Amino acid sequence: MNDILCIVVTYNRLPDLKVCYESLQRQTMKKFDILVVNNGSTDGTLEFLKEKSNEGIVINQENLGGAGGFYAGMKYGLEHNYKWLWLMDDDGTPEEHQLERLYSHREASMYLNALVLNRDNHEEFAFQPNDKRITLEKICKNNPSNILVHPFNGTFFNIEMVKQIGFIKKEMFIWGDEKEYTLRAMAHGIIPVTITNAIHYHPKEKGIKQSAIPFVHSRRTIILIKPQKLSHYYYRNLGYIDKTYRGTLKSLKQVAIHVIFFIRKGEWNELSKFIKFYLYGRNNKYN
């Protein structure tokens, strides 16, 4: 057994998983184990993983979302005495030097992250920051950098951090679990850093960012619009994060900009859903 466990969470994205797996096999640093957490895929993933059974470890479970997948992977890593966990989704592609460069900076923090770039355009971020002053050129001037961490996309944890702050909140399912875990680490005095020459390619962010107030493009008025079919997960997790880490004033601002946006758009059903599930999150109602 090696000291490093790579955890890949997958659900019905077999073509992406194959690319991810191949990129892991091309890493210049070879001493790590691969664990794929399969969230009940029905697209041939199970058969593919059976073919790879001599090359890695597999956990097959029902679809518990990204949060449930990473929870299972973290738990396995802790129970099997790994020292480092390297986490990613199936649609991420680590550049071949990524693990080597993350590992070489392991003394910088217990929480390291790769620099996440658009898979189809390597000159831009995969997840655009709300603050337009943060540019790719600016962040790459410092390595490591303590800004622009996009967690669980080539994220490298020391297992001692997991012992200290616990596992990811698996009930969150998707959209917010990685942010909550990052804020929890920071609340324990652990500063996440980005290793800017450790590159992780990822599809461009699917969510749409809009300003709640027309013609005002401040980062304080920007909200993230998720597909309505699944948006309740996002609202619920946002409520939990605000209550736990952001305090009353910031929470009220968060609610205000969402209410303004949905009223302005005439999206009354979505407004009702936001209020309902945001309050669920604030009350830690996850059953």
Looking at residue 211, what is its pLDDT? 76
Sites in the chain below the pLDDT cut of 70 = 215-219
Per-residue pLDDT at 104: 97
Closest among 2, 37, 42 to 20, alpha carbons compared: 37
CA distance 259 to 276: 12
Model pTM above 0.85? yes
Residue spans in the chain of domains classed CATH 3.90.550.60: 4-202
pLDDT by residue (tens digit) across 31-42? Answer: 999 999 999 999
pLDDT score for 15? 97
Secondary structure of residue 150 in the 3-state scheme: coil
Cα distance between residue 219 and residue 131, in whole Å: 6
pLDDT tens-place string over residues 49-72: 999 888 899 999 999 999 999 999
pLDDT score at 221: 80
What is the DSSP secondary-structure string of 209-272? EEESSTT---TTTEEEEPPTTTHHHHHHHHHHHIIIIIHHHHHHHHHHHHHHHHHHHT-HHHHH
CA dihedral (47, 49, 51, 53) in degrees, to 10, reads -140
What values do phi and psi take at 201, rounded to 5? -95, 135
Would you say the C-alpha torsion 261, 265, 268, 269 has a positive or negative sign? negative
Q: What angle do CA 218, 224, 230 make, to 5 degrees?
A: 170
Q: Which residues of 184-211 are buried (b: 16+ CB within 10 A; e: fewer)?
A: bbeeeebebbbbbbbbbbbeeeeeeeeb
pLDDT of residue 215: 62
Dump pLDDT digits (tens) for 229-259.
999 999 999 999 999 999 999 899 999 999 9
CATH 3.90.550.60 for domain 4-202, yes or no, is: yes
Task: Confirm if 84 and 159 have CB atoms less than 8 A apart.
Answer: yes
Q: Cα–Cα distances in Å, from 154 out to 45, 51, 101, 200, 224?
A: 21, 24, 11, 6, 23
Q: Which residues pair with 85 in a beta bridge?
A: 5, 157
Q: What is the pLDDT of residue 213?
A: 78
